[in-house]
Amino acid sequence: MSRESAPTQTTGRLRSLDALRGFDMFWIVGGSAVVAAIAKTTDNPFVQWVESQTHHVEWNGFSLWDLIFPLFLFIAGAAMPFSLSDRLAAGVPRRALARKVIKRGAVLCLLGLVYNGLLAFDFASLRCASVLGRIGLAYAAAGLIVLLCRSTRAWFAWAAGLSILYWALMSWFPPVPGFGAGQWAPGATLADYVDRLFLPGRLYHGDRDPEGLLATVPAVSTALFGALAGRLLQTGMRSDVKGEHIALRLFVYGAIGLALGWLWDSVFPLNKNLWSSSFVLWTAGLSAMLLACFYLVIDVWGRDRVAFFFVVIGQNAITIYLLNRFIDFDGIAQFVLARGQHLLHPAFVPALGILLRWLLLYQLYRKRLFLRV
C-alpha cells in the first residue's frame, strides 16, 4: 500500500480506465448479489435476463459474467502504455522497468496463493492456479513485450501469433493420451492434460483448472489487445484528433474483434475455461467497446462525476478483491440489519455490503492510499 496523488488525466492517466475497472469489480463484490435478490422478488423479464448473465457458462458458450476476468486483464493492458511511458519520460531505464514488471507479476502470483490458502500451510490441498496468478503471469509477459517491442505492429503480431499458436497446439499437437488431438470435452483437452502433468497441488475441477498453465498463453494476448487500445487512446490525447473520433475507432475495432471471435467459434469454441482464441477476440472486442463508451462519456464529454463511485473502487481493485476474501462484509451487513430485516427488501443486505466496502475504499481514496504491487 503506497500513498500517492490520485491519478488524473493531467498525469497521463485516463479516469475512464479506473471507472471501468471499478465497474468490473462492482459485480464481483456484491453487484451480482443485489441483482439475484431483486430477481427473486420479481418476474420482470429484463431483471431475470440480467440475473441469468451473472453465472459462468459451464463449458462452451458465453455469458456476460464470463467477461469479468478478461475485462480486468484487458484494462491492465490498456494502462500499460500510460504507466510505462510516464516512467520512461522520467528517465527510468527500460531494464529497470522490466525488472519492475516481472516483480509485479511475481507478487500477484504470490497474492493469488495467499488468496487460495497458502498461509494454512496445507500444501497437499493447496490450489496453485489462481485468478491473480494468471493476471500476474499475463501482465508480466505482455509488459515485457510492450517494453521490448516499441512498435504497435509488433504488439499486434505477438497478440495474433500467440492466439494462433494456442489454437494450433490445442487442435493438432500433441495428442492427449486416451483422447487424441483436437478434443474440446472437459478434461480431454491439451490444456487440461498439461495441468495434470505440470501444475502442482489441487486442480479446481480435479482433472482440470480454469486458471491453468497453457491457457495463460492466450491470456497474454488479451493483455496485449488492451495495450493496443491504451496506445490508441494515448495517441488521441497527444494529438488534435477529436476524442469522439478516437472513441469511434476503438468501438469499431472492438466490433471487428467481436465478429472475428464469432467466426473463430465455429472451429475453436468460445470457452472461458480454456481461454480459447475465439474467446480472446470476443472478449477483447466487448472490452474495447465498453472502454470506448466509458472514454467518450468520462474523458471526452467530461461526465466524470457520474463515474466517481466506480473510480473509488477501481483505484483499489486488488485491495477490495483480497479483502473480500477475508472479511465477511455481507455478514456484517446482515448483523446490522438483523432487527428490521424482515421488513426490508432482500436486496438491502447485499446493497449495504457494497456500501461498507465502498466506504472503506473511500477512506483509502481520501488518504491517497493505493495498493501498488
- Condensed to tens digits (0 to 9), the pLDDT of residues 259-309 reads 999 999 999 999 999 999 999 999 999 999 999 999 999 999 998 888 999
d(CA 35, CA 54): 8
Which backbone phi and psi does 2 adopt, to 5 degrees? -130, 155
Instruction: Give pTM, 2 decimals.
Output: 0.93
| pLDDT at site 193 | 95
Whether residue 65 is predicted with pLDDT greater than 90 in this model: the reply is yes
183 pLDDT above the threshold of 70: yes
Angstrom distance (rounded) from CA 237 to CA 233: 6
- Render pLDDT for 192-206 as a digit per residue (tens, 0 to 9): 999 999 999 899 999
Show the cell assigned to 278. 475465439
Eight-state DSSP code of residue 180: B
Q: What's the pLDDT tens digit per position in 316-339?
A: 999 999 999 999 999 999 999 887
Count of structural domains, the chain: 1
Quick one: angle between helices 152-172 and 190-198, nearest 10? 90
Q: Taking the chain, what is the end-to-end CA distance rounded to the nearest angstrom?
A: 8
Give per-residue pLDDT as tens, 198-233: 999 899 999 999 999 999 999 999 999 999 999 999
CA-atom Rg of the chain in angstroms: 21
pLDDT recorded at residue 217: 97
Predicted local distance difference test score (pLDDT) of residue 241? 79
| Res. 370: pLDDT tops 90 | no
CA dist 365 → 4, 168, 317, 361 (Å)? 10, 45, 12, 6
Over residues 13-49, the pLDDT tens digits come to 689 999 999 999 999 999 999 999 999 999 999 999 9
What is the pLDDT, as a whole number, of residue 1? 57
Residue 309 belongs to what domain range?
A: 2-370
Convert 324-354 into a string of H (helix), E (strand) and C (coil).
Answer: HHHCCHHHHHHHHCCCCHHHCCCCHHHHHHH
> Beta strands 2-3 and 369-370: pairing type?
antiparallel
pLDDT digits (tens, 9 = 90+) for 115-160: 999 998 888 889 999 999 999 999 999 999 999 998 999 999 999 9
Q: What distance lies between CA 195 and its chain's CA centroid?
A: 22
Residue in 165, 142, 180, 168 with CA at minimum distance from that of residue 284 = 142
